[in-house]
Amino acid sequence: MSHRHTRRGRRWEQRSFFGLSEHLERLSAIGDPLETLEATIDFEYFRGWLVEGLGYGDGAKGGRPAFDPVSMFKALILQAQHNLSDAKMEFMIRDRLSWMRFLRFDLGGPTPDENTIRHFRNRLTESGTLRRVMKAFDWQLQKKGYIPMSGQIVDASLVPAPKQRNTDAEKEAIKAGKTAREIWPDEPSKAAQKDVDARWTLKIGGKIRYRPDGTPLAQIALPVFGYKTHIAIDRRFGFIRESAVTSAAHADGRMLPRLVTTQNTSSEVWADSAYRSQTNEKSLAAKMLVSRIHRRKPPGRRMPQHVARANAGKSAIRAAVEHVFAHQKNRFGLFIRTIGLARAEAKLTLANIAYNFDRLIFHERVRAMG
């Protein structure tokens, strides 16, 4: 190669390097939200849990990972915030400079492919590390002064998944609790794509309205196939403190004992009428918690005015939990793309962690404004 071409190549590399630096500086000047996320969340705080939970500490369980576990965890948060498939996530990491900077990958260097992303998420789930990371962040919140206060609000929301087309015999086998491999033993590829954990349910829409004689008006019922995300938030700060995932057909009320804790500074627990039962009332009383659960309308009679007023007051407080679901569905585009309950739980747990990150950014901004 001539000296002229060598000099030209060096000048191009210098322009390319400085051009990239200037481009990133402009992104920062405009206001890169990922820099705000990086500055607000101490991601290094999770390294110990990630390394220990995934077995990367001493090399005894497969050696060190190809990619930094903290960078991979951050990638899963980005994936949850944008509801991306693993293949789309692979592309976006390579395509977006701001994402590469946030994840600390070098331009032109190796980045995780879709199989690596999926494998890392599966290991987080199978080892129980993901739930430990969420609990670790809750400890971090409390150290910052965001202690669970003013009571707990419990609710659930349906999250759709791709519909399954099965024969009547296959549906009966699924209801009987058989696995996909048992139902389709000679079709392993088909079995791998069948979700036998998700269920159909009816979503009753809108507020119940009554005729002058006290009888309820008909409501719209939409069939939904998928899962249900159950959460408990603290009333004061609105962080998700406890969570669980079930099939869409699972009864909301059965999850109350699993979601409420005695860690809140207030003993009050709010929930809609689906959670009211003698079992739940006894469970709350045993934990020295005060029930603020909605009361149901007496069958065949009008709702007493004092009960209606009390329910209305409870609804005003309970509205806070609806904002959580709205944030996840509208901003994250929440939808289950994976197969099976365990992977759905991973998806929704990541969405809960991502929501808590956004919530912390909100509170920190409020603090900074005084």
Ordered DSSP codes for 231-280: EEEETTT--EEEEEEEETTS-GGGGHHHH--S-SSS-EEEE-GGG--HHH
215 pLDDT band, cuts 50/70/90, is low
Q: pLDDT digits over 85-144, tens only?
A: 999 999 999 999 999 999 999 888 899 999 999 999 999 999 999 999 999 999 999 999
Residue 62: what pLDDT? Answer: 52
Residue 175: what pLDDT? Answer: 87
Q: Which amino acid is at 149?
A: M
Calpha distance 159→239 (Å, rounded): 20
List phi, psi (to 5°) of 282: -65, -40
Residue 223: what pLDDT? Answer: 87
Q: pLDDT digits over 310-323, tens only?
A: 989 999 999 999 99
Residue 328 token pair: 């996840």
Calpha distance 195→353 (Å, rounded): 25
Residue 336 token pair: 């289950």
Residue 61 token pair: 């369980």
Element (H, E) at 34: helix 33-40
- Segments in 127-231 forming alpha helices (H): 129-143, 168-175, 180-183, 188-192
Count Cβ atoms below 10 Å from residue 126 Cβ, excluding itself.
Answer: 13
Bigger pLDDT: 115 or 215? 115
Residue 94: what pLDDT? Answer: 93
Tokens 């260097």, located at residue: 109
pLDDT-wise least confident of 68-77, 162-171, 244-253: 162-171
Residues 6+ apart with CB under 8 A from 272: 155, 252, 293, 294, 318
Calpha distance 11→5 (Å, rounded): 10
Distance of CA 177 to the CA centre of its chain: 26
Residue 182 token pair: 């048992």
**6 has pLDDT over 80:** no
Query: What is the average per-residue pLDDT within 156-163?
Result: 93
Q: pLDDT digits over 240-255, tens only?
A: 999 999 999 999 999 9
**288 has pLDDT over 90:** yes
Length in residues, the chain = 370
**168 has pLDDT over 80:** yes
Residue 94 token pair: 């390579």
12 pLDDT band, cuts 50/70/90, is very low
Element (H, E) at 154: strand 152-160
User: What pTM did the predictor assign?
Assistant: 0.87
Contact between residue 324 and residue 231 where contact means Cβ atoms under 8 Å apart:
yes
List phi, psi (to 5°) of 19: -65, -40
Average pLDDT over the chain, rounded to an integer: 88
